[in-house]
Chains A and B, each alone.
Chain A
């Protein structure tokens, strides 16, 4: 995992709810994570739910969430939460 000289988060699992083309959204997520130098692992990827674990600087993780909230043109993100928020 890259060390960015910042306080880093523990791995965060983000859950995206909406209407997805799984391959399209997965590729979108991979690209954004790579651009932001985040560690990333895809979990569940379905038509209505995508789970992604990311790790890196807190600001970059927030940027990742914002970027993914838009999603690719063929996907619609309706809600996002981080696992800890609903435990």
Chain B
């Protein structure tokens, strides 16, 4: 199976405080996720147009992000607004960072993987962000193993989101196709009162299980899911 262009979770919303930035990847593409001083989150290509430095190493200054290397500052739309070495220069509009559509929903920050994607943004609902897991396993295989029920009684909500009932709590998991051989699972609690610590312990076991399970074929996953239904 493959993943269609659409919306994918990149991070837990409460893991990114105002004035901070973080680097991540989606389909091996490097992205910076940053939150400005007003609390709005942004997802951009993680590369300064000047010398290619990762913007995730930069500094958030109010509602701008500044590159670590030479301090070029970009506004919320990705437009370069200030070049310290040329303080009086009116920066041309062509010096701009490619940006991605992003939203915050269900306690997570989501990005639209390609502008041609027609899928609507993910629905927002009450959720308590708990934990992000990073796995050394291909995202397609993680999805297959979850769908097949080999790592627990997961319900497939979409090709990249899953639900599970766990000791009286309802959990929502969003799969981030990080790279060809690496995945992330972002976990939020949508019901019940299982403590974040207990969910985190469960999540660690889930990661170990998903990394250890032998690979399966898509047809096998469908049979497994049918047998378990």
Contact = CB atoms under 8 A, between A and B. Distances in A.
Interface stretch (A29-37, A45-53, A79-87): A29-37
A44 B90 CA distance: 31
A37 B90 contact: no
A60 interface: yes
Interface in A1-34: 2, 4-6, 34
B89 A35 contact: no
B197 interface: no
Contact of A37 (B49, B86, B88, B94): B94
B92 A4 contact: yes
Contacts of B90: 4-6, 57
B213 interface: no
Interface in B73-107: 86, 88-90, 92-95
A77 to B, nearest CB: 17
B35 to A, nearest CB: 28
A35 B92 CA distance: 8
Contacts of B88: 6
B49 A35 contact: yes
A5 B92 CA distance: 10
Nearest to A4: B90
Nearest to A3: B90
A59 B92 contact: no
Contacts of A63: 86
Nearest to A56: B92
Interface of B: 49, 86, 88-90, 92-95
23 contacts: A2-B92, A4-B90, A4-B92, A5-B90, A6-B88, A6-B89, A6-B90, A34-B94, A35-B49, A35-B94, A35-B95, A36-B92, A36-B94, A36-B95, A37-B92, A37-B93, A57-B89, A57-B90, A59-B86, A59-B89, A60-B89, A60-B92, A63-B86
